[in-house]
């Protein structure tokens, strides 16, 4: 909830999460450090000092009602965005922190990189089958290139998709985007791929191989059409060993 909004505005924006009774999360924070390498130690920062500082911060927040028991958070919206920023600013004077990623649950995270730079990440998935094959190559070359994935009967994957949007925060609400709206749009984008034979049912894979590279490019195109320049990365997990990503270049 945000103390800068009315009760009705909070309920409209956050739904059940704005209940006065509160709710809980098992937050997972990933802190990335960036700086000069200590040649003698071979590290960026002293590992024991890093662990100690992060543990001090964890104690401030762990098993607390963040709205009521953490004085440092008083007066600001209690959102994942504001909490990620709090983590970053709390340690930047002690550690060479580059960015903090705070995961609220298994499908949503916020990343803060200082100077007002926020990103929102959403995870979703779809299941589909395909056959890796191109008519531009003879059969033996297709088999050599794609191996078992060239099986004429096809094969299936549980594709995992992570998309990232970047923008500035609305200080009144403490949010980047309306999460439910973004999540709904992502599901709509993935729906035409779900439970489909990609090569036979989804354009443009009737004409080009349904490789991980081509699938993530197509996802990027569809998401960019929806989210514009705020889309900064799309990552596709095809298996536990294979991931493919498209990123927006700085200034592009």
Are residues 127 and 84 part of one domain? no
Does the pTM surpass 0.85? The reply is yes
Mean pLDDT split into 10-residue runs, the chain, 252 residues: 95 93 94 89 85 96 95 95 98 96 96 97 98 95 95 96 97 95 97 97 95 98 97 97 93 66
Beta pairing, strands 155-167 & 118-130: antiparallel
Q: Which residues of 153-176 are buried (b: 16+ CB within 10 A; e: fewer)?
A: ebeebebbbbbbbbbebeeebbbb
Are residues 122 and 76 part of one domain? no
| Cα 155 from Cα 152, distance rounded (Å) | 9
The candidate with the shortest Cα–Cα distance to 147, out of 128, 136, 131, is: 131
At residue 134, the pLDDT reads: 95
User: Which residues, listed in sequence order, are joined to residue 157 by a DSSP beta bridge?
Assistant: 128
What is the count of structural domains for the chain? 2
Q: Which of 113, 135, 163 is the endpoint of a domain?
A: 113
CA distances from 60 to 66, 81, 112 (A): 10, 18, 19
Are residues 87 and 172 part of one domain? no
Are residues 96 and 156 part of one domain? no
| Cα 108 from Cα 27, distance rounded (Å) | 11
The candidate with the shortest Cα–Cα distance to 80, out of 124, 111, 115, is: 111
Q: Which of 97, 113, 129 is the endpoint of a domain?
A: 113
> What is the signed CA dihedral for 136, 140, 141, 147, rounded to 10 degrees?
120
At residue 15, the pLDDT reads: 93
CATH number of the domain at 96, please.
3.30.479.10
Are residues 213 and 126 part of one domain? yes
At residue 252, the pLDDT reads: 67
> What is the signed CA dihedral for 40, 100, 84, 250, rounded to 10 degrees?
130
| DSSP code for 238 | -
Q: What is the domain extent for residue 36?
A: 1-113
Are residues 139 and 104 part of one domain? no
Q: How far is CA 117 from the centre of its chain?
A: 15
Are residues 162 and 56 part of one domain? no
| Cα 29 from Cα 111, distance rounded (Å) | 9
Give the chain's end-to-end CA distance (angstroms, integer).
Answer: 34
Residue 42's SS3 state is coil
């Amino acid at each position: 909830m945000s103390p800068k909004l009315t009760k009705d505005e909070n309920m409209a924006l956050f739904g059940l999460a704005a209940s006065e009774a509160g709710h809980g999360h098992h937050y997972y924070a990933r802190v990335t450090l960036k700086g000069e390498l200590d040649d003698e130690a071979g590290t960026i920062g002293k590992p024991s000092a890093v662990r100690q500082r992060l543990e001090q911060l964890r104690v401030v927040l762990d098993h607390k009602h963040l709205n009521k028991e953490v004085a440092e958070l008083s007066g600001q919206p209690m959102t994942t965005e504001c909490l990620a920023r709090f983590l970053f600013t709390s340690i930047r004077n002690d550690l060479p922190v580059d960015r903090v990623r705070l995961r609220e649950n298994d499908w949503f995270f916020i990343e803060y990189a200082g100077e007002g730079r926020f990103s929102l990440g959403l995870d979703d998935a779809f299941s589909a089958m395909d056959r890796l094959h191109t008519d531009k190559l003879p059969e033996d070359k297709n088999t050599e290139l794609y191996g078992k994935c060239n099986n004429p009967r096809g094969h299936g994957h549980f594709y995992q998709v992570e998309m990232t949007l970047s923008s500035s925060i609305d200080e009144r609400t403490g949010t980047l985007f309306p999460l439910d709206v973004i999540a709904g749009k992502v599901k709509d984008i993935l729906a035409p791929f779900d439970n489909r034979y990609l090569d036979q049912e989804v354009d443009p894979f009737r004409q080009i191989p349904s490789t991980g590279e081509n699938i993530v490019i197509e996802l990027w195109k569809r998401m960019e059409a929806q989210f514009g320049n705020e889309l900064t990365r799309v990552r596709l997990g095809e298996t536990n060993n294979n991931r493919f990503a498209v990123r927006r270049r700085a200034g592009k």
